[in-house]
Amino acid sequence: MSRNTYNDVPPDILENEDDEEGTALESGSDVEFDLEANPNSVHKGTEVIRRFWTTLPQAPGVYRMLDAKGDVLYVGKAKSLKARVGSYARGQAHSNRIARMIGETASMEFVTTATETEALLLEANLIKQLRPRYNVLMRDDKSLPYILLTGDHEAPQLVKHRGARKRKGDYYGPFASVWAVNRTINALQRAFLLRSCNDSYYENRTRPCLLFQIKRCSGPCTKEITAEEYASLADEARAFLSGKSNAVKARITAEMQEAAEELEFERAARCRDRLAALSAIQGVQGINTQSVEEADVFALDEQAGQFCVEVFFFRNWQNWGNRAYFPKADKSMNPEEVLSSFVAQFYDDKPAPRLILLSHEIEDAELMAAALSTRAETKVEIHAPQRGERRQLIDYVQRNAKEALGRRLADTTSQQKLLVSLGQAFGLPRAPRRVEVYDNSHIMGTNAVGAMIVAGASGFMKQHYRTFNMKSEDLKPGDDYGMMREMLQRRFARLVKEEPRSSASRESGDGEGALAVISETPATGLPDAAQGEYEAPDDDSFPAWPDLILIDGGKGQLEAARQALAEVGVSEQDVAVIGIAKGRDRDAGRETFFKPDQPAFKMPPRDPALYFVQRLRDEAHRFAIGAHRAKRKREMVKNPLDEIAGIGPTRKRALLHHFGTVKAIQRAALEDLMKAPGVNAATARAVYDFFHDKG
């Protein structure tokens, strides 16, 4: 694979380039664009692309289209870079989306690959990394959970696992959610009595834990079961998770019958309970199919220009759950194109099963199957069944996709109405697209944490939440106003630097479409709740700048926020700021609201906007308290050895095993430190100097 950036191609080379394909391109360039994009910008972008096209090879690879700021607009793969990029420069039959993309293109970058399969894999990887504006994007790309039965210990452990498969053992999954994994692990513990504790806990037990008492573990830590018997239980668990459930149940049934005949009723009862647990696992699988042993089933639905991809996971003839994804894609894209791009990104960081079933035929099915087979090191098949049981399965999954998208659209509509009512309640010129709420949490000034939560038309945007550890040396313990000033200064100083807001964007509200013209009622200063309608924006890109800031506090907190914003150059025309003071006795429903340079006011009882504000404030409070508790917990278990440069987990463990406690290490002489296993003279000197310099 080679990477080439064609940014500075000499003009004389371009002018003297003379080949048949170039002549054809020139002759076909006079095409009218009946498009939303500015025709001048489209033709300018076409000229930019044509310059790069002249030097491209007839080889597979990946291309990137960049705007004037260097941001990636689009990532695509091609069997022939010259032919594919040439299609953009000819200007024929482009959609509005492609025309806008061409109009914004100021530069291009290329990576040549050995095969088209390699180009497909690289394309999916780059899309997930760079998140280009004009590609189909997975919004929720968190890794899916697995069940791991470890293989690096004499007593295998049954645990939940996410991320890279670095630990030795057998992995089963993926599961659709952590809840599904936890439910399955709980049932497997009852069925096979395997331990779930970590190795450190296991090695330090002197008597069985509570799980042994409630018959959820066989107690291998204290030899309540022999190593051979425990290994037999682990083998049965592997067999069950590998699809041999009937054979496992038959063995347990035979053991129960044998125990009953020998009048060993306690052993028979344990077998009975294990059978009941296994039946529970199989009984909650939902839809199962006899024709699909291992497959992922994808079905796509489109409504109102939005897409939903529902994924069902089948392993060992069992349904291991389903999950709905809502990829970001232009409404002009066809379902086949969206589904193809989604599947490629979906398997970028996870192995593919032997069979992938799709609701739509995709153009590059054979190429994608070859690419996934290469990565999985086993044959992967991709089909879009048209009849039979597999088609019925696709129809079932597609119904789920349609229902999930319908629920999301209904929730979004409701949320948009709440944003309109919020803009009306606070006298904003338009409905806010992004609302930020700030709160802080501490105990007598210790472990102080600031928190920001974000809400938009899709609800709480948790990927945009932020916490702030207070760093100012001038901040006095318990100074809530100072904490608010520092939090907003840091947030908006960075925002001004990374996303400067032009005067044009201030006038338009940093985003088209979020328009809600609101009139105020002169008698009360409150807006007329009947005015204003929310128009959905053409593109669903979430703005970086908030339209509204809510501060959990009264006049003092509001003034601190205003000062902080003014110091970084953010005016009240840029962002509206509202303070929320809790009601008498901190009762919900009696909140007082403060706007700069205006008298305080209350909202009418049972106003939907009031309930919405309470939800926002409570979410900020929850998030701030959670961040504070996490920080406090880290401080409580913090080890002074962590602060010493060059002391990693291995040497820290060696020192603690040798001396017993941190206090003993602190009191130890330099000669004693040097005698600890795995500690050399330099490390011993660093530890000794660290503690004695502090003294």
DSSP string, 66-98: E-TTS-EEEEEEESSHHHHHHHHHHT-S--HHH
Rounded-to-integer distance, Cα 325 and Cα 140, Å: 7
Q: Which two tokens stand for residue 79?
A: 């069997």
Amino acid found at 505: S
Distant-in-sequence, close-in-space partners of 140: CB < 8 Å, separation ≥ 6: 325, 326
The pTM (predicted TM-score) of the whole model is 0.66
What is the block-wise mean pLDDT of the chain (695 residues), using blocks of 10 residues? 43 35 38 50 83 87 90 91 86 74 89 89 88 84 81 88 84 79 81 85 85 87 89 85 73 82 80 74 55 86 89 81 87 89 87 90 89 86 89 91 88 87 89 91 76 90 88 74 88 88 48 37 34 40 88 87 89 87 65 86 85 89 87 70 74 79 82 83 84 64
Residues 6 or more apart in contact with residue 539 via CB below 8 angstroms: none
* pLDDT for position 543: 87
Cβ proximity of 147 and 184 under 8 Å: yes
Check the CA dihedral 394-400-406-411 and report its sign.
negative
Strands 446-456 and 466-469: antiparallel
Please, how many CA atoms are within 13 Å of residue 268, restricted to the half-sphere of its CB?
10
Predicted pLDDT of residue 397: 92
- Residue 271 C-beta-side C-alpha neighbours within 13 Å: 18
Domains of the chain, start order: 2-130 (3.40.1440.10), 146-283 (no CATH), 294-408 (3.30.420.10), 429-634 (3.30.420.340), 640-694 (1.10.150.20)
* Residue positions counted in the chain: 695
Distance CA 20, CA 25 (A): 9
| Cβ within 8 Å of residue 63, ≥6 positions away | 75, 76, 77, 78, 81, 84, 85, 108, 109, 110, 111
Residues 101, 72: Cα–Cα separation, whole Å = 10
pLDDT confidence of residue 284: 47
**Inter-residue contact 376 to 352 (CB < 8 Å):** yes
**Rounded Cα–Cα distance for residues 429 and 594 (Å):** 17
